[in-house]
Chain A
């Protein structure tokens, strides 16, 4: 955590008409750090994800990434800068096969008379290698994604981000459709990504997942950061109380204020 922050959010707000989804969010993520983002439904997590990934623009505030202030106009720009996102609602094209989905928007081509031509065989080989390395087994890569199970689809998405890497990865409830064993492997994947020096933001509802893999836990509540804690200095109990609004705790300085009387 000594290195300068990879992602730095300063006082980000987002208004939808009269509704304030984000009311001044500030935190940072370093390279090689896994930050779990927790919070109740409607706390503003998904809005924040959309802002960082370039899908929406903040109403005000600064977004610094990789040492520069950024104004992403589209997900494509955020992606070019090195931000990969795995969305809660899956981002696959069900009408196309596994390979096409794996290379979506990044197809390998060769130029013939200046016309880009798809290199299908190379893409198939590379997809096979990436899926095998990720421990995913899909009977045939020629299968259209609509014929795959929810778990297999999620596995494709996870392998896709691992393969393309980038500098920061955001995972929005990535294990929602996965079984116990698959989730364990998914968490291992997150750990592998961290060891490659990639920053990770993991959005989850499951406390155990956050504690299993995160270096830091950020709790959002009603559009602000209610708690920003090192995982080894907190407990699930405390995080639950932050989520429900019993206490607030920001930064390492242990600024605690008892709001409720007791649990």
Chain B
């Protein structure tokens, strides 16, 4: 079946487009990174005391929690759904760990022997509760065919309610140092937290791009009916995606508890919107089937950089929210513009 265009030796080739187009495609694909570099350069030039290794490390470390829940959000968005429960799941996991092991406030002060067991046991608890809520969300979305927005909004609300109920609104503090190894240790001068953040992105970028599960996720988000007809087990894959998203939120909660050495009832409030902003800025399509974790990574760093810059400048923190809100709108407009350019020139 010949197509109607005049074609030469390049038919059915894996040839990449011409240089100029390749460059344009590269710029469009990595626009967030370019913006991040420009923003960081500008901050370094114009804000005194901004250009320090410590500040950059701080930006990466600060990004960990939003960054990790943004991965789960990206996965569910790529599959054509969404997960709004991540913030509350993160807080719930943190609170459960704190209530069990915390020595101050509402903490139960559980001591295991040998004491280093607190590390794996608390991690398993956090991941387990995340996976459980993820599975519940996934089953409600797939088996009961309820819109993911509703299901996960409900979990966002009841999850936070549960955090407050469990703690009685009180704070917990005094987590043992064994449990907090992630927040205390450094490797190559870089905090362990930052390594965890980077590792999550490397692992999940690999899963998305190089495994059948990842590819099927894009297919389900792109055309669910076709995926089902092609024999892809759509229901199983979608539930698994919600489980992963919940588990990642659990991981973020565990890290957050380590970092803050405890938990409060309003821990992490607002991080859902930051994660959403990062994901949109990073180029993940809300329509499903489109997105790259490298973009999300840059999006998270960009938001965190702006926040840090505002702190360093001594501006009041509500400016951060205004700028982040404007950034989200700009990202969506930019996305439309990018698609137009793509259609016209690529």
Contacts and interface: CB of A to CB of B under 8 A. Distances in A.
Interface stretch (A134-142, A200-208, A229-237): A134-142
B290 interface: yes
A140 B346 CA distance: 13
B52 interface: no
Interface string A92-124: 111110001000111101000001111000001
A60 interface: no
Interface stretch (A17-25, A73-81, A240-248): A73-81
B186 interface: no
A35 B330 CA distance: 56
A53 B7 CA distance: 36
B15 interface: yes
A140 B18 CA distance: 12
A104 B226 CA distance: 9
B228 A93 contact: no
B322 interface: no
Interface stretch (B33-41, B169-177, B230-238, B271-279): B230-238
B110 to A, nearest CB: 35
B221 interface: yes
Given A75-B231, A117-B210, A137-B7, A142 B222 contact: no
Interface in B79-109: none
Chain B interface size range: 35 or more
Given A55-B229, A93-B223, A140-B10, A182 B1 contact: yes
Contacts of B289: 93, 95-96
Contacts of A179: 4
Interface residues of A, number: 53
Interface in B1-34: 1-5, 7, 10-17
A91 B225 contact: yes
Given A128-B12, A139-B11, A141-B14, A105 B3 contact: no
Nearest to B346: A147
Interface of A: 53, 55, 74-76, 79-80, 85, 87, 90-96, 100, 104-107, 109, 115-118, 124, 127-128, 131-132, 134-142, 149, 151-152, 154-155, 158-159, 178-179, 181-182, 185-186
